[in-house]
Amino acid sequence: MTYVTLEKDPLIKVPNKIEYFYDPKYIYIPINNPANFRLGSLVLKDMPICHNYSSISGIIQKIDEHYLMISNDYREKCVRVKKINNKIDLYSLNKALSIYDHDLFLKFKSLKKIDNIVINAIDDELYVANNILNFKENIDDVLEILDKLIYLYKAKKTLIVIKNTESDLIDECLDLIGTYPSIKLTLLENYYLLERKDIILNKLKIDENKTLYLSMNELVKLEKIVKYNMVDSTFLLTICGDVLKENKVIMTKRYVSLKELVSKYLEIIDNNYVIIVNSLINGYETSLNLILTDDIKVIYFMKKKKVRESKCIRCGKCLEVCPKHIDILNGNDYEECISCGLCNYVCPSFINILSRIKKDGEKK
Ligand code: SF4
Ligand code: SF4
Q: What is the pLDDT of residues 212-233, one digit of tens each?
A: 999 999 999 999 999 998 889 9
Q: Percent of the chain at pLDDT above 70?
A: 99
Give per-residue pLDDT as tens, 287-327.
999 999 999 999 999 999 888 899 999 999 999 999 999 99
Counting from 1 in the atom list of ligand 2, the atom nearest the Cα of 336 is 7
pLDDT value, residue 157: 97
Query: Whose C-alpha lies nearest to ligand 1, atom 3?
Result: 312
Counting from 1 in the atom list of ligand 2, the atom nearest the Cα of 282 is 1
Say which CATH architecture domain 90-228 belongs to: 3-Layer(aba) Sandwich (3.40)
Compute the distance from residue 145 Cα to the ligand 1 centre, in Å.
Answer: 47
Indicate the pTM of the whole model.
0.91
Q: Is 24 in the pocket of ligand 2 (CB under 6 A)?
A: no
Compute the distance from residue 338 Cα to the ligand 2 centre, in Å.
Answer: 6
Contact at 8 Å (CB) between 101 and 221? yes
- Write the DSSP symbol of residue 327: B
Considering every ligand atom, which ligand is closest to the CA of 326?
2
Name the pLDDT band for 92 (thresholds 50, 70, 90): very high
Query: Whose C-alpha lies nearest to ligand 1, atom 7?
Result: 312
Compute the distance from residue 348 Cα to the ligand 2 centre, in Å.
Answer: 15
Considering every ligand atom, which ligand is closest to the CA of 331?
2
Considering every ligand atom, which ligand is closest to the CA of 314?
1
- Write the DSSP symbol of residue 336: G
Give per-residue pLDDT as tens, 240-270.
999 999 999 999 999 999 999 999 999 999 9
Residue type, 7: E
pLDDT over 70 (residue 364): no
Q: Percent of the chain at pLDDT above 90?
A: 81
Residue 217, classed as helix, strand or coil, is helix
Nearest Cα to 145, choosing from 205, 201, 222, 253? 222
Domain spans of the chain, in order of start = 18-79+232-303, 90-228, 317-363
Query: Whose C-alpha lies nearest to ligand 1, atom 8?
Result: 312
Counting from 1 in the atom list of ligand 2, the atom nearest the Cα of 328 is 3
Residue 94 to residue 179: CA distance in whole angstroms? 27
- Pocket, ligand 1, Cβ cutoff 6 A: 312-318, 329, 346-349, 351, 353
Nearest Cα to 134, choosing from 214, 225, 226, 235? 235
Query: Whose C-alpha lies nearest to ligand 1, atom 2?
Result: 347
